[in-house]
Amino acid sequence: MDCSISIRNLIKDFGTTRVLKGLDLEIPAGRFITLLGPSGCGKTTLLRSIAGISDPTSGEIWLGGRRLDGVAPEKRNFGMVFQTYALFPHMSIEKNVAFGLEMRRTPKADIVRRVAAALDLVGLGAHARRLPRQLSGGQQQRVALARAIVIEPDVLLFDEPLSNLDAKLRDSLRDDLRTLQQKLGITSIYVTHDQTEAMALADEIVVMKDGEIVERGTPVDLYRRPSFRFTAEFLGMTNVVETEVRQGECRLPWGAVRPVENPGEPDAEGVAIRPEDLAIEPTDGEHDGVVEQSMFMGAATHYWIAAGGKTLRSIATGGRTAVLGNGQKVKLTAPSSLHLLRTFKPSAGAAS
């Protein structure tokens, strides 16, 4: 069966507010994509529309060759994991996981086998008889995951499943999710506003803003060569240097000149330099900039460098280098070529 997802011109209005503004999105079978965007941009609304919990105002949603609009959520064979665990509190872990299979009238022996396999997969085989309240938040979220995969879903949908966990649990469950997804190969759509999570998990990231898709790409491509300033700034820290392009080259605030990778860009706003790509070297003599402020973060030291009337961010890694003091003169080294960023403009038909 073809488990690709195709979304065509999807619109969702709440009253007079247009929350999804005509989205088109193709997700190949087996791909893990994250929907990344700020709070309120419509991620949950899109996910709920795919799940069938929310009715789109117009547009189409397809699973392979099958149109899903009008198909009840329980007939879609989608597994879902939400921010809150939503387990039945009075049922044991294994009963919670078995629930979906019982609803589908799966034979008893199969249920026992599949529930045990799903609990093993999420590392909770030994906890089958416990009640949800006897487990930690991270373990409860693993139960929710087991419950989602035990039905052998065509698609897995995640809505910020790690956001209620503390940082350490979040990291370990995130790593496990990645391993599990690679093992299972189920088409997955994962909603998050956390750029680190999006990059760590996804084959591809789809960036959203105000009910529209800004752009999509692999984590590496979007981080290194985003088309839009919005993407560059949402995917981590970046310096945006406004500069004119002349004969394929741009001039940086401290006078260095670099070739531009995409000089033909029609409405460019400037070039992006990631702080970790801006190297600094202390000097007593001729200098490009001066340290304004530093912040030691353990694995890295963050610097604010005054250069040519601008303040630029630089990140130095390598634990053994000394932390430079305020007022220290530095030489700056930018990457050998730079990438122009465009302004994202909302589509004309966006306003309702």
Ligand X SMILES: Nc1ncnc2c1ncn2[C@@H]1O[C@H](COP(=O)(O)OP(=O)(O)O)[C@@H](O)[C@H]1O
The tokens for 196 are 């680190």
Element (DSSP H or E) covering residue 191: strand 187-192
Nearer to ligand X, 77 or 84 (CB): 84
Give the one entry of ligand X, Mg ion, none that residue 45 binds, where binding means its C-beta sits below a cut-off of 5 to 8 angstroms depending on kind.
ligand X
Give the one entry of Mg ion, ligand X, none that residue 148 binds, where binding means its C-beta sits below a cut-off of 5 to 8 angstroms depending on kind.
none
Nearer to Mg ion, 39 or 247 (CB): 39
Q: Which of residues 15-54 bind ligand X (CB under 6 A)?
A: 19, 37, 39-45
Give the one entry of Mg ion, ligand X, none that residue 19 binds, where binding means its C-beta sits below a cut-off of 5 to 8 angstroms depending on kind.
ligand X
Compute the least distance from the CB of residue 164 to ligand X, in Å: 15
What is the CA angle 304-262-245, rounded to 5? 65
Give the one entry of ligand X, Mg ion, none that residue 328 binds, where binding means its C-beta sits below a cut-off of 5 to 8 angstroms depending on kind.
none
Residue 44 found at the interface with Mg ion (CB under 5 A): yes
Q: Quick check: 22 and 11 in contact, CB under 8 A?
A: yes
In whole angstroms, what is the distance from residue 255 CA to residue 297 CA? Answer: 30
Residues 258-281, buried b or exposed e (16+ Cβ, 10 A)?
Answer: bebebeebeebbbbbbbbbbbebe
Residue 192 found at the interface with Mg ion (CB under 5 A): no
Nearer to Mg ion, 25 or 271 (CB): 25
Nearer to Mg ion, 44 or 231 (CB): 44
Residue 14 found at the interface with ligand X (CB under 6 A): yes
Nearer to ligand X, 234 or 254 (CB): 234
CA dihedral sign of residues 229, 230, 231, 235: positive
Give CA 314 to chain center in angstroms: 24
Minimal CB distance residue for Mg ion: 44
Give me the residues paired with residue 330 across strands: 282, 289
In whole angstroms, what is the distance from residue 128 CA to residue 86 CA? Answer: 17
Residue 49 found at the interface with Mg ion (CB under 5 A): no
Give the one entry of ligand X, Mg ion, none that residue 217 binds, where binding means its C-beta sits below a cut-off of 5 to 8 angstroms depending on kind.
none
Nearer to ligand X, 53 or 116 (CB): 53
Q: How many residues bind ligand X (CB under 6 A)?
A: 10
Nearer to ligand X, 43 or 216 (CB): 43
Residue 157 found at the interface with ligand X (CB under 6 A): no
Q: What is the largest CA-CA distance in the chain?
A: 80
Q: What count of other Cβ atoms lies within 10 Å of the Cβ of residue 3?
A: 18
**Which burial class, exposed, middle or buried, applies to 314 when counting CB atoms under 10 A from its CB (0-12, 13-18, 19+)?**
buried
Compute the least distance from the CB of residue 39 to ligand X, in Å: 4
Compute the least distance from the CB of residue 20 to Mg ion, in Å: 13
Give the one entry of ligand X, Mg ion, none that residue 349 binds, where binding means its C-beta sits below a cut-off of 5 to 8 angstroms depending on kind.
none
Nearest by Cα to 324 from 343, 287, 296, 350 = 296
Q: What count of other Cβ atoms lies within 10 Å of the Cβ of residue 32?
A: 22
Using CB under 5 A, list all residues that contact Mg ion.
44
* Contacts with ligand X, residue ranges (CB under 6 A): 14, 19, 37, 39-45
